[in-house]
Structure 1
Amino acid sequence: MQNFLIIVPDGGMLFEPTGIADILMQANRLRPQDSPNPPYQVTIATTQSHRVIHGMSGLSLLADYRLSDLDPSQSYGTVMITGKGMNVEEADSVIAWIRQAAPRTGRIVSICGGALLLAKAGLLDKHRATTHWRLLDAMQAEFPAIDVEKGPIYVQDGNIWTSAGVSSGFDLTLALVEDDLGFSVARSVAQDLVMFLRRPGGQSQFSRFLLSQASTPGPIRDLQSWILENLASDLSVEKLAERVAMSPRNFTRVFTKETGSSPAKYVEEVRLDAARQHLEQSSDKIEQIAVVTGFGNSLNLRRVFERNLQLTPSDYRERFYARTSEHTFI
């Protein structure tokens, strides 16, 4: 049996730690018949001076312990941090504790913004890691020694596992179960809890990235609105520059400065986002979607999907189509 400690900062989404605990308890129930003892002993610790964890929903969770009551020199099988906390003092207490506990911990795990605490503790230096997509750029800028991966829903590098935002922690936890107990147990847990079975860690974070918007009103912001309404048009840099009466070179410089993205990258992202919406919400053929979103043909659409999401358009539709009725896709 391994002790599995879940550190829960205040003010987060409580379905993360409770869902993770449920997955581990289900693994205990479905463990191999020749295992006399449950594989996981789950403990939930709060960063507060009391045992009540307040969630952002207004609900509360009663923790087993206060983190300050736990000895960091004790050996732990797994220590997981489910968020970055609400203030500096709370974060600092977790950082100090995990820094002391790390040498005697078999596996260190973060969910969502918890990766920032591992980063500040120095535990992610020279490691691959990920976090919620809103925090990726900030983490890379603040911690250049970390190899921040911006696509996967979770990343394993040695004994350190990090996940993207919110429910991706469930995918990571199921992967931990498979790592500990094998594929059959993980599959049974996934089936009982109606989860994706072994959704690959290399899967892209599917949350929609907010489209870059120009920092101030003016020609660039107006052009962005026009692009969204004319995805099937010629959106080359030359044509876009002509539309705002700039040279291509100056246009690229101004657009990138105001939006944080090059014109070509912006166009690809908005076309990709539109194609995803079509795949999720319509029964249009993939070739037709490719045309109306400006990719021209299904081959171009497939290349962009595989490069950005590591999925084909057909696979994406299979996973995310809102099935209000039965359709056949060709």
Structure 2
Amino acid sequence: MKTFLIIVPEGGMLFEAAGIADILTQANRLHAQDDARPLYQLTIATTQPHHVIHGQSGLNLLADYRLLDLDPKQPRDTIMVTGRGVSEEEAEQVVDWLRCAAPYARRVVSICGGAMLLAQSGLLDGRSATTHWRLLETLQTRFPKVKVASGPLYVQDGAFWTSGGVSSGFDLTLALVEDDYGFSLARTVAQDLVMYLRRPGGQAQFSRFLLNQAKSPGPISDLQSWILSNLATDLSVEKLAERVAMSPRNFTRVFTRETGATPARYVAEARLASARQRLEQSNEGLEQVASASGFGNSLNLRRVFERNLQLTPGEYRERFSARALA
């Protein structure tokens, strides 16, 4: 039997912890058909001085223990952190406990923003890891020793497993079951719960490029608006610099300073965002989408989607188009 401790910080999405607990419990139930001994002994701990975990939805979860009452040096198979909490004090408490507990655990796992706490503890230094797509740049900036992977739903590096946002924790948990007890059990659990054992694509398919806006009104801000209305035109650095009467070198420096992104990156993200929106909200053909978004043809569009989202444009449309168009 493997011990499985889930640390649930305050103010998160409780369906993460509840769903993970249900997956592990389902593995126990299916195994019980052949052997009454459970595969997992599950414990939920709160970071609070009481036993009630408050979720952001207003719902509450009753924990088995308070983290401060658990001995970090007790041997455990798996320690999982499902979020980063709502305060620095709470985060530091978890980080300190993890530093002490990690040497006595077979593996340490994070869901979503929980990777920030693993990184803060130093456990991810020199390792590959991921987190929610909104936190990827923050994780890389704050913890440069971590090798941040932006595409996968989850990443394993030795004894440390990290996952992307929210429901990707379910993908990771099925992978843990497979790692522990084999493919057949993990597949059966997934089928019983009507889940993918291997969900197609990575978390990049769910991310949204947040186009950086200039810090203040002016030529760069006006140019950004013009770019969004003229994606099919020549948007090379030279042409954009000419439009605002700057040298290419000075334009690149000013644009990057004002927006936090190079002109080339901004244009690439704007074009991809436009293509995604058209695939989601229109019945336009792929050639039309590619032309209007500035990719020229459907082959270029496909290459960009596969490189950035690990999906073809057709697969993206199938998964994310408006219900009225599906």
Q: For residue 177 of structure 1, what is the aligned residue in structure 2? A: 177
CA distance in structure 2 between the aligned counterparts of 1:114 and 1:136, rounded to whole angstroms = 12
The offset of 1:94, in angstroms, is: 0.9
Relative distance call for 1:189 and 1:176 in structure 2 (3 A) is same
Q: For residue 107 of structure 2, what is the aligned residue in structure 1? A: 107
CA distance in structure 2 between the aligned counterparts of 1:145 and 1:325, rounded to whole angstroms = 45
Q: For residue 89 of structure 2, what is the aligned residue in structure 1? A: 89
Q: Residue 11 of structure 1 contacts residue 55 of structure 1 at CA under 8 Å; is this kept in 2?
A: yes
**For 1:61, what is the secondary structure of its paired residue?**
strand
The offset of 1:139, in angstroms, is: 2.1
**2:131 counterpart letter in structure 1:** T
Q: Residue 12 of structure 2 contacts residue 56 of structure 2 at CA under 8 Å; is this kept in 1?
A: yes
Q: How does 1:198-217 map to 2 (within 5 A)?
A: 198-199=198-199, 203-204=203-204, 206-217=206-217
The offset of 1:325, in angstroms, is: 5.5
The offset of 1:272, in angstroms, is: 0.8
Q: For residue 12 of structure 1, what is the aligned residue in structure 2? A: 12
**For 1:135, what is the secondary structure of its paired residue?**
helix
Q: Residue 164 of structure 1 contacts residue 205 of structure 1 at CA under 8 Å; is this kept in 2?
A: no
Q: How does 1:289-300 map to 2 (within 5 A)?
A: 289-300=289-300
The TM-score normalised by the length of structure 2 is 0.93
Do residues 154 (structure 1) and 158 (structure 2) align?
A: no
Q: How does 1:304-315 map to 2 (within 5 A)?
A: 304-315=304-315
Do residues 225 (structure 1) and 225 (structure 2) align?
A: yes
**For 2:109, what is the secondary structure of its paired residue?**
strand
The offset of 1:158, in angstroms, is: 0.9
**For 1:204, what is the secondary structure of its paired residue?**
helix
**1:67 counterpart letter in structure 2:** L
The offset of 1:318, in angstroms, is: 2.9
CA distance in structure 2 between the aligned counterparts of 1:227 and 1:28, rounded to whole angstroms = 56
Q: Residue 13 of structure 2 contacts residue 57 of structure 2 at CA under 8 Å; is this kept in 1?
A: yes
Which has the larger displacement, 317-326 or 128-137?
A: 317-326
**For 1:126, what is the secondary structure of its paired residue?**
coil
Q: Residue 164 of structure 2 contacts residue 203 of structure 2 at CA under 8 Å; is this kept in 1?
A: no
Q: For residue 253 of structure 1, what is the aligned residue in structure 2? A: 253
CA distance in structure 2 between the aligned counterparts of 1:27 and 1:19, rounded to whole angstroms = 13
CA RMSD of aligned residues (A): 1.9
Q: How does 1:1-330 map to 2 (within 5 A)?
A: 1-31=1-31, 33-199=33-199, 203-204=203-204, 206-324=206-324
**For 2:78, what is the secondary structure of its paired residue?**
strand
**For 1:278, what is the secondary structure of its paired residue?**
helix
The offset of 1:314, in angstroms, is: 2.2
The TM-score normalised by the length of structure 1 is 0.92
CA distance in structure 2 between the aligned counterparts of 1:190 and 1:227, rounded to whole angstroms = 45
CA distance in structure 2 between the aligned counterparts of 1:114 and 1:76, rounded to whole angstroms = 18
The offset of 1:241, in angstroms, is: 1.5
Uncovered stretches (5+) of structure 1, i.e. residues with no partner: none
The offset of 1:43, in angstroms, is: 1.0
Relative distance call for 1:83 and 1:256 in structure 2 (3 A) is same
Uncovered stretches (5+) of structure 2, i.e. residues with no partner: none
Q: Residue 27 of structure 2 contacts residue 185 of structure 2 at CA under 8 Å; is this kept in 1?
A: yes
Q: Residue 6 of structure 1 contacts residue 79 of structure 1 at CA under 8 Å; is this kept in 2?
A: yes
CA distance in structure 1 between the aligned counterparts of 2:32 and 2:294, rounded to whole angstroms = 52
Q: Residue 95 of structure 2 contacts residue 118 of structure 2 at CA under 8 Å; is this kept in 1?
A: yes
Relative distance call for 1:38 and 1:129 in structure 2 (3 A) is same
**1:284 counterpart letter in structure 2:** E
Q: Residue 205 of structure 2 contacts residue 310 of structure 2 at CA under 8 Å; is this kept in 1?
A: no
CA distance in structure 2 between the aligned counterparts of 1:201 and 1:92, rounded to whole angstroms = 34
CA distance in structure 1 between the aligned counterparts of 2:193 and 2:210, rounded to whole angstroms = 31
Q: Residue 154 of structure 1 contacts residue 163 of structure 1 at CA under 8 Å; is this kept in 2?
A: yes
The offset of 1:156, in angstroms, is: 0.8
Equivalenced residue count is 326
Relative distance call for 1:201 and 1:231 in structure 2 (3 A) is closer
